[in-house]
Structure 1
Amino acid sequence: MIKDQPIEHFLDALASKAPTPGGGSAAAIMGAMGAALVGMVGNLTVGKKNYEAVEAEMKAMLEQADGLRARLTDLIRADVEAFKQVMGAYALPKDTDAQKQARAEAIQAALKTATDVPLDCARACAEIVRLSRIAAEKGNRNVASDAGAAVAAGYAALRCSALNVHVNVGSIKDGEFVASRLAELDRIMAGMEEMDREVYALVKGKL
């Protein structure tokens, strides 16, 4: 599994001619890195002098970050599998009308899965951006720059995920499905750019 490989192997695969891993898997890893950095801030705040007042909030933030990191790590594999499903559907035979119909249906089903995976990644990454704000505002000042790195990674992963949603819905014929996913993506993205800038400025002001 990709998540069990050395990082150098993953990067080599990412840079290769192979269709997977690609941008979706990279987004999941970036998001997981953002979650890990939020976790770092939490772990270096909990139990520290002068941060007793925010201890409970930091513990809750840490628990959420750990959960998001695990979820995003799983999405690395899910993204690869979704792409393979799409490629497999396109490779189905199309010699007869029945085969053409079955192939078209398989392609559409695979594209829907390939849309929902990065949408799930986007949901998780938006949560990382929100958690990064808490880390930046209330976490240990000595690791404020890591909270800034967390929001940068989370927001970059969010934007990458959004692009992967858009590239897949462009080939989906189910208008209701497309509209629902794009509407949800809009809700997820709402306010994220501003929050990214705000957290960056907040962190920079603490350095």
Structure 2
Amino acid sequence: MSYDDVRIGAFLDDVASERVAPAGGTVVAVAGAMGAALCEMACIHTTNAGEASDATVRQGDGAAERSFEVIRDDLARQRRELLALAAQDATLVDELFGGDGEPTDRLAKRASGIPLATAESSLAVLEDAAAVVERGRSGVAADARAGAYLADAAVQASLSTVRVNAAALSDHSFAETMTDRADAVSSSAAEVRSEILSDDCSGR
């Protein structure tokens, strides 16, 4: 299964149907990919207008200076990753709910692992989006901010799924690892969200 060439209308028809998939996890991953695409567009217009400068993107407790071309490439990579995760989630949901019997332990763990990967990838988009909002061309700042909000929504929705599914796991050690990683993503996203809201309030 792949969502690389699926038309938006057809995708939404599939979501709004009696089928078990695509469901929430797939939709959320696609939303994160859309956020990445918007920020890619903002990078392109900024570069083409000759307004690009080195942008600082936070990476953990440190920081790295990266050009808009590099940021754009990173966003494109995350967009592809999120579309792949969307397909993985749809396949997982089909396996979980489309068959008979109880889900296996492997499938139950993937029900936490895939949304966690979606949250982590969407966080990377959100971090890049913050730099684009701050340093990008003013004419596309609203587009970059819209992309950031889509990525942030994907982070939050995915983390909610991680926590719900992890709580149902019989492997408590694995569940704790998933929850700890989810908490780390949530904390990082909150910091970036605060930066973007600050720029928003300043009228950037």
Please classify the TM superposition score into its range, dividing by the shorter chain length: 0.7 to 0.9
CA offsets 1:20-66 (integer angstroms, 9 cap, x no match): 11110011011001110110111111142343555961111101000
From the two aligned structures, give the one with the greater strand fraction. Answer: 2
Q: Is the 8 A contact 2:169 2:175 kept in 1?
A: yes
Amino acid at match of 2:176: A
Q: Which has the higher helix share?
A: 1
Give per-residue Cα distances to partners, 1:58-103, cap 9 Å, x unaligned: 11110100000000011111001111222356x13xxxxxxxxxx5
CA spacing shift, 1:142–1:182, aligned 2, 3 Å: same
Q: Is residue 60 of structure 2 the alignment partner of residue 60 of structure 1?
A: no
Is 2:199 aligned against 1:198? no
The answer on whether the counterparts of 1:147 and 1:203 sit within 8 Å (CA) in structure 2 is: no
Change (3 A) 1:112 1:44: same
Superposition misfits of 4+ residues, deviation over 6 angstroms? none
The aligned runs of 1:1-207 (5 Å cut-off) are: 1=1, 3=3, 4-52=5-53, 57-87=67-97, 91-92=100-101, 107-203=104-200, 205-206=202-203
How far is 1:17 from its partner? 2.3
The structural deviation recorded for 1:16 is: 1.6
Output the TM-score relative to the length of structure 2: 0.87
The structure that has the greater radius of gyration is 1
Partners of 1:58 and 1:123 lie apart in 2 by: 21
Question: Alpha-carbon deviations, 1:154-202, whole Å to 9, x = none?
Answer: 0001111112212221321000000000000100110423422431341
Distance 1:10 1:50 in 2: 36
TM-score by length of structure 1 reads: 0.85
* Pair 72,177 (structure 1): closer, same or farther in 2 beyond 3 Å: same
Instruction: Figure out how many residues of one structure are paired with residues of the other and give that number.
Output: 194
CA contact (8 A) 1:42 1:135 kept: yes
